[in-house]
């Protein structure tokens, strides 16, 4: 990895550090890579903008881009680039949606494993997999943990609902909860079975989602913490953070807390910091961004029967090759293909 630390250790430190951290959603190898390089890409696009300005002012091409000053400046910009996201949320909603199925365990656990393996291969930062309910009982969940470790996934989050799960944000659906003891033992089985001590288990409390109150949420969180969970994800679908505030005021920082503010998106991030939240998950925004972009592109190409106006709006083919790291293959071919 870039930091030299194992991905599991990176995730463990991210969850336990007092600093507020952010996990960004991805649902494929490509989107995972985009999450990882978000900060670098920011610097890169600034540099490109600057290059354009310089070119416009001096209207010479090769001199500027090849000049040592420019190269130095580009190195400087890279050095002060905002680093990308420190970790990835492999969202169940997004992975199922990109496969064209519902977030109701329609994709099998091995199909999810395949997707998340591509994501892990494409990145150096840790991935927290949204593993729904663990795809069965304690035995299925603990076997999943071993397979995730084998494939370079840093941790998984399981929620206290029944299989097959239903997405928490769907309106008017029953959200039957798992038995507290059964779910606690499922967490314990996973923790007992993991080989890497830094593999992280996040226990997700769905009490608020299922219409229960603070007491139920606290009882469950405490039971899961006692069972060995590395962090608690407390979920709410209210449009304000009142559930989270109530939970945090009673929880007393007993272990790290993770939130998913999809529905209370207008709450300023500083408020989460003040509440003592460990990690915020931006849970589905790459999927939603890609849906909007694809819908607009399809609409425009269909109605205009031309690519003229779309070309400048979409990523270049060269950008796709860059994201695929074609330069690495080119260098390898240079090494390993016989030179005739
Ligand atoms: C996901 O991203 O799949 C989640 C978060 O589990 S939510 O959709 O809010 O349930
Ligand atoms: Mg999910």
Q: What is the mean pLDDT of residues 27-37?
A: 97
Q: Is the pLDDT of residue 39 over 50?
A: yes
Q: How far is the CA of 159 from the centre of ligand 2 (A)?
A: 9
Locate the ligand 1 atom nearest the alpha carbon of residue 204 and give its number.
Answer: 6
Q: Residue 112, SS3?
A: helix
pLDDT of residue 298: 98
196 is catalytic: no
Interface ipTM: 0.99
pLDDT in tens, 93-112: 999 999 999 999 999 999 99
Distance CA 317, CA 307 (A): 14
pLDDT in tens, 179-188: 999 999 999 9
pLDDT of residue 50: 76
Nearest CA to ligand 1 atom 10: 168
238's tokens: 């209210």
Q: How many residues does the chain have?
A: 340
pLDDT in tens, 60-78: 555 555 667 766 766 665 5
Q: What is the mean pLDDT of residues 239-252?
A: 98
pLDDT in tens, 250-275: 999 999 999 999 999 999 999 999 99
Tell me which of 91, 104, 282 to substitute to probe ligand 1's pocket, judged by most ligand atoms within 8 Å of the beta carbon: 91
Query: What are the angstrom distances between the C-alpha of 80 and each of 47, 49, 65, 83?
Result: 12, 16, 20, 9
Query: What are the angstrom distances between the C-alpha of 41 and each of 77, 84, 120, 337?
Result: 11, 8, 19, 32
Q: Is the pLDDT of residue 154 over 90?
A: yes
Evaluate whether 251 touches 218 at the Cβ level (below 8 Å).
yes
Q: Residue 161, SS3?
A: strand
Q: How far is the CA of 41 from the centre of ligand 2 (A)?
A: 28
**Reduced 3-state DSSP string for 228-292:** CCCEEEECCCCCCCHHHHHHHHHHCCCCCEEECCCCCCCCCHHHHHHHCCCEEEECCHHHHHHHH
pLDDT of residue 84: 86
Q: Is the pLDDT of residue 47 over 80?
A: no
Backbone angles phi, psi at 131, to 5 degrees: -100, 25
Q: How far is the CA of 93 from the centre of ligand 2 (A)?
A: 5
Evaluate whether 232 touches 202 at the Cβ level (below 8 Å).
yes
pLDDT of residue 70: 66
pLDDT of residue 63: 56
Q: Is the pLDDT of residue 139 over 60?
A: yes
Q: Which of 103, 160, 198, 230 is catalytic?
A: 103
pLDDT in tens, 167-222: 999 999 999 999 999 999 999 999 999 999 999 999 999 999 999 999 999 999 99
Locate the ligand 1 atom nearest the alpha carbon of residue 93 and give its number.
Answer: 3
H-type helices in 100-255, by residue range?
109-121, 138-150, 180-193, 214-226, 242-251
The candidate with the shortest Cα–Cα distance to 193, out of 150, 240, 161, is 150
Q: How far is the CA of 198 from the centre of ligand 1 (A)?
A: 24
Angle between helices 285-304 and 29-36 (to 10 degrees): 110
pLDDT of residue 75: 64
Evaluate whether 17 touches 132 at the Cβ level (below 8 Å).
no
Question: Of all residues in the chain, what percent carry a pLDDT higher than 70?
Answer: 89
HSE at residue 172, side-chain half, CA atoms within 13 A, is: 0
Q: Is the pLDDT of residue 37 over 50?
A: yes
Band of residue 1 on the pLDDT scale cut at 50, 70, 90: very low
Tell me which of 262, 286, 288 to substitute to probe ligand 1's pocket, judged by most ligand atoms within 8 Å of the beta carbon: 262
Evaluate whether 261 touches 241 at the Cβ level (below 8 Å).
yes
Question: Of all residues in the chain, what percent carry a pLDDT higher than 90?
Answer: 85
């Amino acid at each position: 990895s870039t930091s030299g630390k194992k991905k599991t250790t990176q995730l463990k430190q991210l969850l336990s550090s007092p600093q507020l951290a952010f996990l960004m959603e991805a649902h494929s190898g490509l989107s995972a890579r985009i999450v990882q390089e978000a900060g670098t890409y920011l610097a890169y696009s600034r540099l490109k903008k600057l290059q354009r300005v310089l070119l416009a002012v001096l209207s010479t091409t090769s001199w500027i881009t090849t000049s040592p000053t420019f190269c130095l400046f580009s190195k400087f910009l890279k050095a002060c680039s905002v680093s990308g996201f420190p970790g990835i949320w492999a969202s169940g909603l997004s992975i199922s949606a990109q496969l064209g199925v519902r977030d109701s365990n329609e994709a099998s656990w091995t199909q999810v494993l395949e997707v998340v393996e591509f994501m892990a291969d494409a990145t150096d930062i840790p991935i927290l997999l949204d593993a729904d309910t663990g795809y069965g009982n304690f035995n299925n969940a603990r076997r999943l943990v071993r397979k995730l470790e084998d494939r370079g996934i840093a941790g998984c989050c399981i929620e206290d609902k029944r299989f097959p799960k239903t997405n928490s944000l769907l309106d008017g659906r029953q959200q039957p909860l798992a038995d507290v003891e059964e779910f606690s033992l499922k967490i314990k089985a996973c923790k007992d079975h993991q080989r890497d001590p830094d593999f992280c288990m996040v226990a997700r409390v769905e009490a608020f989602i299922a219409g229960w109150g603070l007491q139920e949420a606290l009882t469950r969180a405490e039971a899961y913490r006692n069972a060995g969970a590395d962090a608690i994800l407390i979920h709410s679908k209210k449009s304000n953070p009142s559930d989270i505030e109530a939970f945090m005021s009673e929880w007393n920082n007993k272990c790290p807390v993770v939130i998913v503010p999809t529905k209370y998106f207008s709450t300023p991030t500083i408020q989460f910091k003040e509440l003592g939240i460990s990690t915020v998950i931006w849970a589905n925004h790459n999927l939603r961004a890609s849906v909007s972009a694809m819908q607009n592109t399809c609409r425009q190409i269909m109605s205009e029967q031309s690519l003229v106006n779309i070309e400048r709006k979409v990523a270049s083919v060269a950008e796709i090759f860059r994201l695929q790291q074609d330069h690495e293959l080119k260098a390898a071919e240079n090494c390993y293909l016989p030179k005739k």
